Amino acid sequence: MKVLCGIGGSDDSFRALDRTVDRAAVANDDLTIAVVDNEDSSVSPDEVVERAEAAADEAEIDAEVRRVEGDPGSRLVEIAETEGFEEIVLGGGHTSPMGKITIGPIAEFVLLNAKTSVTLVR
């Protein structure tokens, strides 16, 4: 399957990265990892790119890691549409001290606007 995994450096985005890479290794997915701007993230985009490349190397898969600038949600939807991706994978949300799950604005936008299936990794 042709999979687009969008990550911005939040904890849940790294969880999504690890799972998507593991799955790609088993299922032979054609994986592209898009590193987007997440203003809520404390990790710099360069560092996120490094983590993504390291994860792909470790799983011995040939994934493309791409830096995507601009509004993250709309850019992901646009890339998925123009390049024929079949699925968008994102982090599954932030967990509050109480244990409540909150979905961030990037996931909200993608969920409501994507024409592909969207997976939120928990």
Partner 1 sequence: MSDRGYPDAVADEFPPPPTAFTDREDREIEIRPYEGDDETREALVEMYDAFDPADRAQGIPPGGEDRIREWLSAILAGDCYNVIAWCGDEVAGHATLVPDGDAYELAIFVHQEYQRAGIGTHLIRGLLGHGQANGVEKVWLTVERWNRAAVSLYKKIGFETSDAESFELEMGLRLHAADDEDADPDPDDGGE
Q: Which is nearer to partner 1, 1 or 112 (CB)?
A: 112
Please report how close the Cβ of residue 40 comes to partner 1 at its closest, in angstroms. Answer: 7
Under rule CB under 8 A, residue 101 binds partner 1: yes
Q: Which is nearer to partner 1, 82 or 102 (CB)?
A: 102
Using CA atoms, how far apart are residues 49 and 26, in angstroms rounded to an integer?
22
Between 6 and 92, whose beta carbon lies closer to partner 1?
Answer: 92
**Torsion angle defined by CA atoms of residues 36, 39, 43 and 46, in that order, rounded to the nearest 10 degrees:** 40
Tell which positions 17-76 bind partner 1, by CB under 8 A. Answer: 40
Q: Which is nearer to partner 1, 67 or 122 (CB)?
A: 122
**Which residues contact partner 1 by CB under 8 A?**
40, 94-105, 108
